[in-house]
């Protein structure tokens, strides 16, 4: 019964959406930490805790062996793109509101759809095309050109979008036998390696409250990775990219809840259109 449930396509959709929500929560904590810590400090602390929690979880589950891989080059390539996305996202969130960052970041699903068509020869069905058009109209409405969007912070958001699209493409090329434990483990090692090269050791600091923040960030990332990675088993990249648009209204609500940033009317209308486009996709 459990196998029938997890192999159900609706459970895959649920996993993808749930993972996206948890990633949004993690990004909210990332934005909070960016006020106090440098990009490489955040990368180092969060990734170190990721590995610590991962080792504890795999030890308790007696799955330490799942950290081994026969595809180290693929893992390193994916990890480099994912680490690059993390770096760009940290820099972008230090100067952008959460939902503004997400609006620019949504170049990622568009890039993913286009790359999926050209690289994997995926076919676009009529419902995919309809949903994509509605999504793009929603993004067009949400994206209000201005100094914030076209700043260096905005360019960093574009960089994050490109890197995560490439990371997803590499993941889709990896054998299904590769575990999420291995994916997180090598990603975290790559992040730590990059951070150790560039962090300013003279300014490193952390206190108990911030340790709780980074721990929460790490745990959210692990849960999000499990759910989102399972959702990525959906074979069609166009479907994956369109489902990802739901994170825009989610980030809008988080921005209001944490920073009391009330969304503008165009962002609110856009979120309704994005949700509607996803309903079209799921129905079909």
pLDDT of 5 reads 44
pTM of the model as a whole: 0.72
Q: What is the residue extent of each domain of the chain?
A: 24-59+70-283
| 3 state SS for the chain | CHHHHHCCHHHHHHHHHHHHHHHHHHHHHHHHHCCCCCHHHHHHHHHHHHHHHHHHHHHHCCCHHHHCCCCHHHHHHHHHHHHHHHHHHHHHHCCCCHHHHHHHHCHHHHHHHHHHHHHHCCCCCHHHHHHHHHHHHHHHHHCCCCCCCCCHHHHHHHHHHHHHHHHHHHHHHCCCCCCHHHHHHHHHHHHHHHHHHHCCHHHCCCCHHHHHHHHHHHHHHHHHHHHHHHHCCCCCHHHHHHHHHHHHHHHHHHHHHHHCCCCCHHHHHHHHHHHHHHHHHHHC
Determine the pLDDT at residue 275. 65
Locus of tokens 């990371």: 167
Neighbours of 202 (CB within 10 A): 5
Supply the pLDDT for residue 10.
67
What the block records as the tokens of 74 is 């693929």
Residue 19: per-residue pLDDT: 81
> What is the Cα–Cα distance from 232 to 251, expressed in whole angstroms?
21
pLDDT score recorded for residue 180: 79
Which pLDDT score is estimated for 109? 65
Task: Please tell me the distance from the alpha carbon of residue 183 to that of residue 78, in angstroms, as a whole number.
Answer: 9
Give the per-residue pLDDT at 235.
53
Measured CA angle at 60 (ends 168, 167), to 5 deg: 10
- Residue-level pLDDT, tens digit, the chain, 284 residues: 444 544 555 667 777 778 878 888 888 888 878 778 888 888 888 889 889 888 888 888 888 888 887 788 888 888 889 888 888 988 888 877 777 777 777 667 666 766 766 766 666 667 667 777 777 777 677 665 554 555 677 788 888 888 888 888 887 777 777 777 888 888 888 889 888 888 888 877 777 777 888 888 888 888 887 787 777 665 565 666 666 666 767 777 777 777 677 666 766 676 677 667 766 755 55
CA distance 54 to 67: 10
């Amino acid at each position: 019964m459990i196998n029938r449930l997890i192999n159900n396509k609706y459970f895959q959709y649920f996993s993808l959406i749930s993972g996206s929500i948890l990633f949004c929560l993690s990004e909210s904590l990332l934005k909070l930490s960016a006020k106090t810590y440098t990009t490489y400090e955040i990368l180092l602390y969060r990734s170190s805790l990721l590995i610590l929690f991962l080792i504890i979880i795999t030890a308790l589950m007696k799955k330490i062996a799942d950290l081994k891989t026969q595809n180290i080059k693929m893992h390193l390539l994916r990890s480099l793109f994912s680490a690059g996305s993390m770096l760009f996202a940290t820099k972008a969130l230090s100067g952008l509101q959460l939902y503004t960052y997400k609006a620019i970041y949504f170049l990622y699903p568009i890039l993913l759809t286009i790359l999926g068509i050209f690289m994997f020869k995926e076919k676009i069905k009529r419902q995919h095309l309809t949903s994509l058009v509605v999504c793009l109209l929603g993004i067009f409405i949400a994206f209000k050109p201005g100094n914030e969007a076209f700043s260096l912070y905005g360019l960093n958001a574009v960089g994050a979008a490109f890197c995560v699209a490439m990371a997803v493409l590499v993941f889709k090329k990896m054998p299904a036998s590769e575990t999420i434990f291995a994916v997180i483990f090598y990603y975290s090692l790559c992040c730590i390696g990059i951070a150790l090269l560039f962090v300013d050791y003279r300014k490193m600091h952390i206190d108990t409250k911030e340790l709780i923040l980074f721990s929460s960030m790490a745990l959210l990332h692990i849960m999000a990775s499990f759910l989102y990675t399972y959702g990525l088993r959906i074979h069609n990249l166009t479907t994956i990219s369109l489902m990802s648009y739901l994170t825009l209204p989610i980030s809008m609500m988080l921005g209001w809840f944490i920073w009391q940033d009330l969304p503008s009317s165009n962002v609110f209308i856009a979120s309704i259109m994005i949700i509607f486009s996803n309903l079209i996709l799921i129905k079909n």
